[in-house]
Structure 1
Amino acid sequence: MEIVHVYTKLRAHFGRQCVFTDRPADLLVDVQPDPCVTERFILRRPREGALQVCRDMSEHQVNTERFESSSCGLNHVEGGWPKDINPAEMEQTIRFRKKVEKDEGYINSILQLGSVMEHCSRQNNSTDLYQDYFEDEDQEDESQETTFAKTINVFRDPNEVKRMVTGLSWHPDSGRKLAAAYSCLEFQRSSKDVSVDSYIWDIENPNRPEMALKPTSPLVCLDYNPKDSHTLVGGSYNGQIAYWDTRRGGHPVEFSSVEQSHRDPVYKIIWLQSKTGTDAFSASTDGQVLWWDIRKMSEPTERLVLDLGREGNLDRALGAISLEFEATMPTKLMVGTEQGVVVSCNRKAKTPAEKIVCTYDGHHGPVHALQRNPFFPKNFLTVGDWTARIWSEDIKESSIMWTKYQMSFLMDACWSPVRPSVFFTVKMDGVLDAWDVLLKQNDPALSVKVCDEALFSLSVHHHGRLVACGSQQGGATLLEVCPGLSTVQKNEKSLLAAMFERETKREKILEARQKELRLKERSRSAQSREEEVTGREEGEETPDQLILNTENNFFNMVEAELRRRREREEKENQEKDVCEEKEVKDDQETSEF
């Protein structure tokens, strides 16, 4: 016999919305961490991204008072004096003035014209009537012209096996020389036939390099000394640091020992502003920042381990691939890491815990570029994954401005040295973008397809007109941008300062709001936990007890159902036996008859 249970429901109850209730989370399973994996664990905070699908619009209208004018003529002699008054005679003019001032019509006219004159004087205070609106006509026309960039020269790797241009540096004095570092960062594709030389190019002669730098290992980065234009310092693929004096040839004057150098390739090296002009510091993916004095390259003068636990543990250090140092802030430096975190450090701190000041976490991948704004050092630019972000030192939770997500990875970026609001970026699809945040924030002001290969490095001339881009196949392209991107615009610095201040205030307000919401949620969860504990103390069952009681009720119901089935089967069997006995008895009686 089949057991059928029919569930009935009123038609009015169909299609009703689900009503959810708020209750605290229940711990179902507790998996203890593996001690071996715990040592390699790096805490990553969740990231927040903002999307905008509409364009912001604004409208403003001003209505002014209508002015009606009429033309009339007046015939008078000098000063408007009557015919019987000689303006040259002072006594006659004084007597006439006293006579007019005593006249009642003059007094009434002055009283009536006073209010009109006051209104006109107030207008003059709010609007400069003597402003020359066309004094900067040429400059305005120049800023409104179409932005463009033209290719001047292409410096190609002279070797048969092409290598990536991983670093670029301009000559600090004349700016007519460009130093390029060539290296193959793909370890498995490197071979013995690959050259280790890097070159110094004359921008007027792309046919062959002016000088070849011959390190012991391929250079990943290099930098000209701003105080001595004849010296360069470079970081090698094997972690060594070397420096050159161009007056002594292409071989390095001195290089660091392997034991005291980095363990990974040196991705960035920068000269420090010191009295001697011989100090530099480097960063590598081994998690160290090392300070060097080129007069003594046997060992670094100082060492910093990028351990966010502030214990100086090299096994848990974050790999560094970008550096930033501002001469106006000699004690501060910033490091971009492979984990998407920007670490702000204090060089003069005494303990490792004090050297790491704070962190800025905002990229999904390595921070390939990091640079402060040359006009506003508190604001800095970072490039990672698909976006470029502008940060403020006062806001650590998020950036104040950012570009929309691009279709290709951004590999390098730098600010314009002459225009505060302009910065350049290069991408994996071979495109150079010039951004002007005062003009527009959603799209670049200029996009140029430089080449068909990926662009990995970027450097802007100190005059702002020349931009050098390094590609994957060893080509360093030199471009000249239009005057609109290399000439300071009127009030540009004040407008950008106001924009940065406004965006910083906005982020502070949003950050305060988020903190307030987190505090409310924390207090609400604490209150719910207290109510749960109170309910347990008053005799309510715990979740474990509820689960156990439910299981017991289920098994009791199953046993009861099995018992009912057995009783029903026994009863049916008894009835069947009675029926069979009755049939047998009927058959016997029929046979006797």
Structure 2
Amino acid sequence: MEIVLGYPRLRSEFGRQPLLSDRPADLLLDLPPDPSLAPHFLLKTPRDQGLQAGRDMSEHQVNTERFDSDSFGINHVEGGWPKDVNPQEMEQTIRFRKKVEKDESYVNSVLQLGGVMEHCIRQNNAVDLYQEYFEDEDEVEENQEPPSAKTINVFRDPNNMKRTVSSLSWQPDGGQKLAAAYCCLTYQRTGDLDLHSYIWDIENPNRPDLSLKASSPLICLEYNPKDPHTLVGGGYNGQIGFWDSRRGSQPVDVSSVEQSHRDPVYKTIWLQTKTGTDLFSTSTDGQVLWWDVRRLSEPTDRLILDPGRGGNLDRALGGVSLEFEPTMPTKFLVGTEQGGVLSCNRKAKTSSEKLVCCYEGHLGPVYALQRNPFFPKNFLSVGDWTARVWTEDIRESCILWTRYQTSYLTDGCWSPVRPSVFFTVNMDGMLDVWDILFKQNDPTLSLKVCDEALYSLRLQDNGRLLACGSEGGGASLLELSSGLRTNQSNEKNLLAAMLERETKRERVLEARQKEVRLKEKSRSEEEVGGVLEARQREVRLKEKCRSEEEGGGLGGAGRRGEYSTADQPGRNTFLLPHPEGGGKRSV
């Protein structure tokens, strides 16, 4: 209903009615001013001034204010009991329950509340307010988009010193925090080194969430997969450190210098044990050491990477990378700085049996090793200018490899959600995404992350976020497109068929090479046998000639007889002394 309020008034009280008409505009420029009005006007200099009608609403801060929360424990006391009933006494509570259950009002209340609860359950089952009905169709549409990645954050070293992000590790509980190890990898640079590494919260790139202090710069840093608060790191001086983020920045325990590695520790990996306190490490001193963080005074086991299986540390190969698969608790891989990958068995009885075999294919150090999460028999190795895919069934050569890149590759890893996708970084600051089902010669996506060399790479467990560490101390956080983090239809089966096909091809080539080598060997043996036979014939002929010369030459006298051709020309006649004497007989 609309209420209208009117004010009645006569037309004559409105004033004179205006009469409007159209006419051209008149410019009264020649009209002189009225001299009588001159004292009432002041001559002023014209001035222009800009005015802003609205208020300035710009923001000067990038991040919003964070919400600080603390965890507190409370003691819950069971309530609802009458004053004369002690809830701590079991007999009294049982007696009171039996008394209430016999009451008629209790039964009526339960029946009444049961109907209301049943109605709510049926209503919830009928319509699910949180169900996404078109989720699959949206994923199909998104997966058709070309692969892409965008930088969403950059975590920079708070210190002014230029240090390399040598290692990255995601927190296992949701991946909301990122641990970064900072170390200067310049040869023999020992002065004014900062000993701090940091744990970053991905929502706050302005300052680190926690600082980790060590006795030596950390080269590697790894979260415990069973405990999101504990970390282990390997130092430049060969020591192993153990941290608990709930206890602050100081390490809980550090290994002794006498029992540690003699060279920098390049890789540490946690073992999947019941206690969750076991790990092993490798270094360029040629050793693999096993540790228990509850007692870091000395290692629990030791393996020397001697390819001659003699256990000689002077001939050992330097280790720069490690790989361990929990489904294969006795096997592990070691990437060496000589370009080979050693397959080892920890449960072997002797040290010579622990080194099973060596895969040789790189021209430089193997900086990264990782088994395929969906096919553990196949593993990825990154070194020199290529990335190679191996299988445990073939030791002579790899089954897949990328072509040689223009820049040195420094790290790589498989995608945890897509079986056929892996990532590599190089010293040009490029991130390459490879999909071996799509194409093998070129990456499906190449992205320039920064102008500095990239040395470390780590992917989140859900495959959404990827972190790259650079030489200048910056850790770039990138978000991958849905196509790179969503498993494609029938992708696993297609990759399995492809790996099996390539394995068979390598086996055929290997058998062919063995056959060619056998033929060449037999041919060379035949040639050598023919030469030996001819040599033997020549030797026999020379011996015969020598014996004949010793027995007498042709036509000359000998000790027991002589040759003569006088009787029968064209035929040699050997004259022997007659046994009765006084003459010679012809032979």
Q: Give the TM-score, by structure 1 length.
A: 0.68
Q: What is the CA distance between 1:141 and its match in structure 2? A: 3.2
Cα distance in 2 for residues equivalent to 1:465 and 1:445: 17
Query: SS of 1:185's equivalent?
Result: coil
Query: SS of 1:261's equivalent?
Result: coil
Residue 491 of structure 1 corresponds to 490
Query: SS of 2:373's equivalent?
Result: coil
Q: What is the CA distance between 1:137 and its match in structure 2? A: 5.7
Bigger drift between 338-347 and 436-445 goes to: 436-445
Counterparts of 1:25-424 in structure 2, within 5 Å, are 138-191=138-191, 193-424=192-423
Cα distance in 1 for residues equivalent to 2:159 and 2:535: 79
Letter aligned with residue 249 of structure 1: G
Q: Provide, for residues 323-343 of structure 1, a one-character-per-residue CA deviation record: whole Å limited to 9, x for no partner.
A: 000000000000000000000
Query: SS of 1:539's equivalent?
Result: helix
Letter aligned with residue 275 of structure 2: T
Residue 512 of structure 1 corresponds to 511
Letter aligned with residue 170 of structure 1: W
Cα distance in 2 for residues equivalent to 1:357 and 1:342: 11
Cα distance in 2 for residues equivalent to 1:270 and 1:468: 19
Cα distance in 2 for residues equivalent to 1:236 and 1:135: 47
Letter aligned with residue 173 of structure 1: D
- How many pairs are equivalent? 407
Cα distance in 2 for residues equivalent to 1:137 and 1:416: 23
Query: SS of 1:309's equivalent?
Result: coil
Structure with bigger gyration radius: 2
Pairing 1:539–2:533 present: no
Query: Contact 2:193/2:217 (CA < 8 Å) preserved in 1?
Result: no
Bigger drift between 272-281 and 531-540 goes to: 531-540
Letter aligned with residue 182 of structure 1: Y
Cα distance in 1 for residues equivalent to 2:300 and 2:521: 47
Q: What is the CA distance between 1:526 and its match in structure 2? A: 1.0
Residue 46 of structure 1 corresponds to none
Q: Provide, for residues 531-575 of structure 1, a one-character-per-residue CA deviation record: whole Å limited to 9, x for no partner.
A: 11111111179xxxxxxxxxxxxxxxxxxxxxxxxxxxxxxxxxx
Structure 2 regions of 5+ residues with no counterpart? 1-133, 541-587
CA-atom RMSD, angstroms?
1.4
Please identify which structure carries the higher helix content.
Answer: 1
In the TM superposition, structure 1's runs of 4+ consecutive aligned residues that sit over 3 Å from their partners are 134-141
Q: What is the CA distance between 1:139 and its match in structure 2? A: 4.2
Q: What is the CA distance between 1:136 and its match in structure 2? A: 6.7
Pairing 1:526–2:525 present: yes
Residue 436 of structure 1 corresponds to 435
Cα distance in 2 for residues equivalent to 1:135 and 1:290: 48
Q: Give the TM-score, by structure 2 length.
A: 0.68
Cα distance in 2 for residues equivalent to 1:332 and 1:291: 14
Q: What is the CA distance between 1:188 and its match in structure 2? A: 2.7
Cα distance in 1 for residues equivalent to 2:474 and 2:217: 16
Q: What is the CA distance between 1:138 and its match in structure 2? A: 4.5
Letter aligned with residue 373 of structure 1: N
Q: 1:329 to 1:267 in 2, by over 3 A?
A: same
Cα distance in 1 for residues equivalent to 2:234 and 2:522: 52
Structure 1 regions of 5+ residues with no counterpart? 1-133, 542-593
Cα distance in 1 for residues equivalent to 2:254 and 2:498: 46
Q: 1:135 to 1:412 in 2, by over 3 A?
A: closer
Q: Provide, for residues 466-512 of structure 1, a one-character-per-residue CA deviation record: whole Å limited to 9, x for no partner.
A: 00000001010000010000001000111111111111011000000
Cα distance in 2 for residues equivalent to 1:234 and 1:180: 10
Query: Contact 2:430/2:446 (CA < 8 Å) preserved in 1?
Result: yes
